[in-house]
């Protein structure tokens, strides 16, 4: 499970991708309208190796680490890997307003080109 879109390599572990993760979304099974899906959404930058978390799309800012056995979002405390969270796609990133921070050289299986 690699992030679809990342902003950088992890400055801490060196091997991970600092991917954009969107949290606070409704599970897809509930078929929530796209607009409503983002009402409570918030973005995180998460290293997919060491799990360092940044709250802004800038790895020079301060970071935190989740509990290594029960990783939770530092904003809403929901499970970091639960159904209310996912690696962000292009639409998610646009909704978060983080499009400019994406390094497309690090994209993995890009779902669509970010405008």
Partner 1 sequence: MSDSENQQSSGFQSSGSGRGKKPFGRRSAGGIAIVVLLAAYGFAQPKLNERFGWNLPGLKQDRGGQVVVEKSDHRNASDKSSENTKSTDLKYQPKSSQSTSGSSSVDKQSGNSASSRPGDSAKASGPLASRMSPKKSSADTSKNNSTRGSPPAKQSAKPSNTPSADNDLLYGLLRDTGNKRYVSPSGLMYTPGSAEGHRLEHLRRHIVDNKSRPVHGVFDGEMEDALKVIDMAYERAKKNQKTTKSVDKGMTVYTVDMGKRIGFVGGQKGQRNRNQMARRVKLVLSGNRVITAFPL
DSSP labels, 52-107: -EESSS-TTS-EE---SSS-B-TTT--BTTSTTEEE--HHHHHHHT-GGG-BGGG-
Task: Give the DSSP H/E element, type plus range, for residue 20.
Answer: strand 17-23
Minimum CB distance to partner 1 smaller for 63 or for 93: 63
Stretch that binds partner 1, among 5-13, 27-35, 37-45, 92-100 (CB under 8 A): 5-13
Binding residue (CB under 8 A) for partner 1 from 7, 17, 73, 93:
17
Nearest to 103 by CA among 3, 4, 6: 6
Cβ 47 vs Cβ 13: under 8 Å: yes
Interface pattern 81-110 for partner 1 (x via CB under 8 A): x-----------------------xx-xx-
Beta bridge partners of 27: none
Binding residue (CB under 8 A) for partner 1 from 71, 72, 76, 114:
71
Interface pattern 30-69 for partner 1 (x via CB under 8 A): ------------------xxxxx----------xxx--xx
Residues that bind partner 1 (CB under 8 A): 1-2, 9, 12-17, 48-52, 63-65, 68-71, 81, 105-106, 108-109
């Amino acid at each position: 499970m690699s992030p679809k879109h990342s902003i950088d390599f992890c400055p801490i572990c060196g091997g991970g991708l600092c991917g954009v993760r969107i949290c606070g979304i409704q599970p897809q099974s509930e078929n929530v309208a796209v607009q409503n899906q983002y009402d409570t959404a918030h973005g995180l930058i998460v290293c997919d190796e060491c799990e360092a978390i940044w709250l802004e799309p800038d790895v020079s800012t301060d970071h935190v680490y989740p509990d290594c056995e029960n990783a939770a979002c530092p904003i809403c405390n929901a499970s970091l890997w639960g159904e209310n969270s996912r690696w962000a796609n292009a639409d998610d990133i646009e909704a978060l307003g983080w499009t400019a921070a994406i390094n497309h050289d690090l994209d993995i299986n890009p779902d669509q080109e970010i405008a």
